[in-house]
Structure 1
Amino acid sequence: MLKIGILGFGTVGKGVYDRFHRTRETIERQLGESFKIEAILVKDRQKDRASLEEGFVTTDWEEFKNHHSYDIVFEAIGGIEPAYSYTNHFLTQGTPVISANKKLIASRGEELDACAQAGGTFYGYEAAVAGAIPIINALRATLSTTSIDRVRGILNGTTNYMLTEMIQKERSFADVLLEAQQLGYAESDPTDDIESYDAWYKLIILSRLCFGKWADTEQITRYGVSEIENWHVEVANELGCQVKLIGDAKLEDGEVRGIVSPAFVAGDELLASINGVVNAVVLYGEDIDQLSFAGPGAGGAATANSMVEDFILHSRYDGDRVVAEEQHEAKEESSYSMVFVNQASYGECLHWAEAYGVEIVESIPHSEGEAWIVKNAAVDELSQPVYQLYGNIQRITSANEVKVS
């Protein structure tokens, strides 16, 4: 009989517990043996746990770890500590751990992967990226020898919901943020979502699986969505673009480089059609061209489902992704960005354009200022809002010509 421990009993931890009980017969048939939830570590023992059918409940870590010898532990605490110490303890002992803790994995995943390898076990984190989309295990199993040279995606459901509402219904940032909080999509402190930390963590994890190495976090640039103004949205609508928070990473000179930032996405691009709280990931490679995945990106049930499926896959499959030493690098492509210039920043932006020899492909007038489409520009040197631009640049600029005429 498999003995299971659960660390944390919030939305995700309870979701894991419920998923095991709701589908017990199916899981046991897949595993070929029965299981028992031996113990659950909780933060608040005062909460009503009367509905629990099994499992010793405790708030004491020492009591939890010594209660039984576990065959698998599910970590659903969140944050760095004490989650790191607990995870390290079990992996070092050779006990596999399944986690949805993207902050921990992005920050300390390299160390914990090494602990798992040294302990002869596995550290599973399918549920840490893109909710219900099985992207991590697709890379580890189905695409285990497929060369990936770029990964791009919409990795945060909260901001995608907000941006969808802003573009399609012309609502303000403050209005849709308040609604997202009321609907439970955004936390009372929405910093991780709107300043793009959540998507940044996920891109770091995806990069490790795609390219076979953990990225230097300083090489993954991050911009939030909090500086998006109404007139930026109006310009996007005029050009037939959607505004999305996009994570984009590739191999460049043997190193992982990437960016998470708001982007203008042309209407005929695949990611432009991903709306609401849905996430999407697109893999690029010589043998696969483009391979796309989309599905629910948030919610306790989706995350818990991914954790349980991660456990079942690892119970039946011992392989992992193998990245070729001569990994293909992404093809060189021209990079286009949209720079928003208002009256106060016009002088600074003009000086920047002259100093760096910036090619301004198009200037789009607006009552609030101008939007410049620039090519291969050093946008990191600017303090103004900058958006990546994805799609056929000729179609985007011709849309502006039609508007002006």
Structure 2
Amino acid sequence: MIRVGLIGFGTVGGGVYERLLHTKKQIKQLLKNEIEISAILVKDRQKRRAENVDTFVTTSWDEFCERAEFDVIFEAIGGIEPAFTYTARWLEKGVPVISANKKLVAERGEILEHLAVDHCTYYGYEAAVAGGIPIINSLKGNLTTTPITRVSGILNGTTNYMLTEMIENHRSFTEVLLEAQELGYAEADPTDDIEGFDAWYKIRILSRLCFGTWPSVTSFFRKGVANIEDWHVEVGERLGFKVKLIAEAWRSDLGVKGRVTPAFLSPTEPLANVRGVTNGISLEGDFVDQLLFLGPGAGKEATANSMVEDFIFHERTTNAIRVTKEGKREQAESCIHSFVFINHADRNRALEWVKQEGIAVIDTYAHHEGEGWIVSSNNSSPFETYPIYGDISKRKREKTIHSAQFGAF
């Protein structure tokens, strides 16, 4: 008998409970053993939700621990504490833990993985990145010796939904944020999504799988979508660019670097066509060129399915470890152009800036609220600036602002 302990009974925890019940026969066939949900630990406010559950439910940590000799724990409560304490306790007892908690994995994953190794068990976190996309275990299982030079993706469904609505239906940032909250895509406090923390946690986890070590927090830049104005999106759309919140990490000559930032994608970029709450992940390497993974980034069913599949994967492939190797080349930052947005009042200052810094202005485009300039990439712009990914020669042609200050374009 495989005795399961479930910590948390919110949306994800409830989904795991249902998924385990619905797959009992398949699990028995695969693992040659029956599965039993022995106990569920809930918060007070979740207790009513679990009233009709046919298993032991408690709000007491001590009662939960004493209920059974668990064979696996599913952690679905979110945040760092008490999730870290709970997870560490079971790993130290040699009990495997499956988590969907991206913040915990990103911030304490190195410690928890060491605990798992030291106590001959495993810590699974497939569901912590991109919901229903099996990216973590693809890296652990099918790509164990494949060198990866860059990983990038759209890892936050909330902001991707918002930006898609702004581009395709010409809606305002404020309007689509309110709708995202009404639809349950964004929390009442949307800070983690809007400020890029959610994607920042996830790309750090992917970096660990792709490059073999947990990255330094200071090596990963983060910028959210809060400063994107409606007219920035309009100018980008006019040129055929689509704005996305892109998370990426790459191996450079200074070590692993990464960032989360809004970016404009040209029509040549595969991730440009990832719409709505869908997530997309791109892996690049010398032997695979580019692999693209698309799927649901969140949701009760998708996330619960990933947690159960994560458990099955680890039970059937003990000691699955990705062996990272150096690629044939170092990966430079993949963007060589940026989009700079300048309000009319700042135009003279912007002209002086490009002159002093020797920045090449490739093209300029007018809007009644300001101007958008495509420039050779520069990370120290005093203006609102976003990287451009892809071939800018494929952009739609618009009438440029002819200005003697720039010379011929």
Fold shared, TM-score > 0.5 on shorter chain:
yes
Indicate how the Cα distance of structure 1 residues 135 and 333 shifts in structure 2: closer, same or farther if over 3 A, else same: closer
Counterpart for residue 244 of structure 1? 244
- The corresponding residue for 1:93 is 93
Instruction: Rate the CA distance shift 1:246–1:326 in 2: closer, same or farther, 3 A.
Output: closer
Distance 1:114 1:14, change over 3 A: same
For residue 399 of structure 1, give the secondary structure of its aligned residue in structure 2: coil
> Does 2:206 align with 1:191?
no
Distance 1:332 1:242 in 2: 19
Change (3 A) 1:109 1:276: same
Residue 303 to residue 361, structure 1, CA distance change in 2 (3 Å): same
Distance 1:297 1:63 in 2: 34
The alpha-carbon distance between structure 1 residues 328 and 117, as it changes in their structure 2 partners (threshold 3 A), is: farther
Equivalent residue number for residue 127 of structure 1: 127
**Corresponding position of 2:22:** 22
Q: Secondary structure at the match of 1:224?
A: coil
| Letter of the structure 1 residue corresponding to residue 330 of structure 2 | E
1:260 and 2:284 matched: no
Give a deviation string over 1:45-91, Cα, whole Å, max 9, x none: 6414332122x211111221232221110110100100011111111
Q: Counterpart of 1:324 in 2: which secondary structure?
A: coil
- In the alignment, the residues of structure 2 paired with residue 46 and residue 91 of structure 1 have an alpha-carbon distance, to the nearest angstrom, of 26
Letter in 2 for 1:20: L
TM-score (norm 1): 0.94
Aligned to 2:357: 356
Bigger CA drift: 108-117 or 143-152? Answer: 108-117
Q: Distance in 2 between matches of 1:115 and 1:79?
A: 19
Q: Which residue of 1 aligns with 2:54?
A: 53
Amino acid at match of 1:163: L
CA distance, structure 2, for counterparts of residue 245 and residue 87 of structure 1 = 31
- Relative to structure 1, the CA distance from residue 245 to residue 365 in structure 2 (aligned partners, 3 Å threshold; closer, same or farther) is same
- 2:310 aligned partner, one-letter code: D
Higher mean alpha-carbon deviation, 347-356 vs 318-327, is at 347-356
Given that 1:147 and 1:328 are in contact with CA atoms closer than 8 Å, whether structure 2 keeps it comes out as: no
Q: Deviations over 1:219-241 (max 9, x none)?
A: 11111111111111110111011
List aligned pairs for 1:56-135, cutoff 5 A: 56-135=56-135
User: In the alignment, is the contact (CA less than 8 A) between 1:134 and 1:306 conserved in 2?
Assistant: yes
Separation in 1, partners of 2:278, 2:317 = 29
When the two structures are superposed, what TM-score results if normalisation uses the length of structure 2? 0.93
Structure 1 residue 401: Cα displacement = 5.0
CA deviations 1:261-298 (Å, max 9, x no partner) are 11111123211111011000000000000000000111
Equivalent residue, structure 1, for 2:340: 339
1:290-326 superposed Cα distances (whole Å, 9 cap, x missing partner): 0000001111111110000000000000221011256
Identity %: 52
Which segments of 5 or more consecutive residues in structure 1 lack a partner in the other structure? none
1:187 partner letter: E
Cα contact 1:4–1:71 (8 A) shared by 2: yes
Q: Stretches of 4+ moved more than 6 A in 1?
A: none
In the alignment, which residue of structure 1 is the partner of 2:387?
A: 388
Contact 1:41–1:60 at 8 Å: present in 2 too? yes
Question: Is the alpha carbon distance of 1:332 and 1:64 closer, same or farther for their aligned partners in structure 2, counting shifts above 3 Å?
Answer: closer
User: Which residue is 2:405 aligned to?
Assistant: none
Give 1:22 shift.
1.4
Q: Is the 8 A contact 2:149 2:331 kept in 1?
A: yes
In the alignment, is the contact (CA less than 8 A) between 2:335 and 2:388 conserved in 1?
no
Gap runs ≥5 in structure 2: 403-409
Query: 1:399 corresponds to which residue?
Result: 397
Distance 1:334 1:159, change over 3 A: closer
Secondary structure, in 3 states, of the residue corresponding to 1:387? strand
Output the CA distance in 1 between the equivalents of 2:58 and 2:329.
50
Contact (CA 8 Å) 2:130, 2:279: kept in 1 or not?
yes
8 Å contact 1:148–1:328 — kept in the other structure? no
**1:215–1:255: 8 Å Cα contact kept in structure 2?**
no
CA contact (8 A) 1:334 1:375 kept: no
1:36 corresponds to 2:36: yes
Say whether the 8 Å CA contact 2:286–2:328 is kept in structure 1: no
Deviates more, 1:322-331 or 1:308-317: 322-331
SS in 1 for 2:210: helix
| Deviation, structure 1 residue 331 | 5.0
After superposition, the Cα gap between the structure-2 partners of 1:344 and 1:112, relative to the gap in structure 1 and judged at 3 Å, is: farther
> Alignment length, in residue pairs?
400
Could you tell me whether the CA contact under 8 Å between 1:363 and 1:372 is conserved in 2?
yes
Query: Alignment partner of 1:38: what SS?
Result: strand
Distance 1:332 1:228, change over 3 A: closer
CA 1:367/1:14 → structure 2, altered by over 3 Å: closer, same or farther? same
The 1-side partners of 2:327 and 2:292 are apart by 24
User: Partners of 2:275 and 2:143 in 1: how far apart?
Assistant: 27
Structure 1 range deviating more: 200-209 or 319-328: 319-328
- Which residue type is aligned with residue 307 of structure 1? M
Distance change (3 Å), C-alpha of 1:338 and 1:48:
closer
Indicate if the aligned counterparts of 2:365 and 2:400 stay in contact, CA closer than 8 A.
no
User: How big is the shift at 1:92?
Assistant: 1.5
Map 1:138-287 → 2, pairs under 5 A: 138-287=138-287
Task: Determine the C-alpha separation between the residues in 2 that align with 1:277 and 1:174.
Answer: 17
Q: Deviations along 1:171-228, whole A, 9 cap, x unmatched? A: 0000101111111111111111111110111000000000111111111111111111
Change (3 A) 1:7 1:351: farther
Cα deviations across residues 4-63 of structure 1 (Å, max 9, x unaligned)? 101111111111000011121112111111011111110016414332122x21111122
Tell me the SS of whatever aligns to 1:131. Answer: coil
For residues 182 and 383 of structure 1, what CA distance do their matches in structure 2 show? Answer: 36
Across the aligned residues of Structure 1 and Structure 2, the Cα RMSD in angstroms comes to 1.8
Q: Is the 8 A contact 1:338 1:389 kept in 2?
A: yes
* Distance 1:402-1:386 versus aligned 2 partners, 3 A rule: closer
Kindly state the Cα deviation for residue 343 of structure 1 after the two structures are TM-superposed: 2.7
**Relative to structure 2, which stretch is displaced further, 306-315 or 58-67?**
58-67
Distance in 2 (alpha carbons) for counterparts of 1:48 and 1:131: 23
Could you tell me whether the CA contact under 8 Å between 2:377 and 2:387 is conserved in 1?
no
Residue 229 to residue 325, structure 1, CA distance change in 2 (3 Å): closer
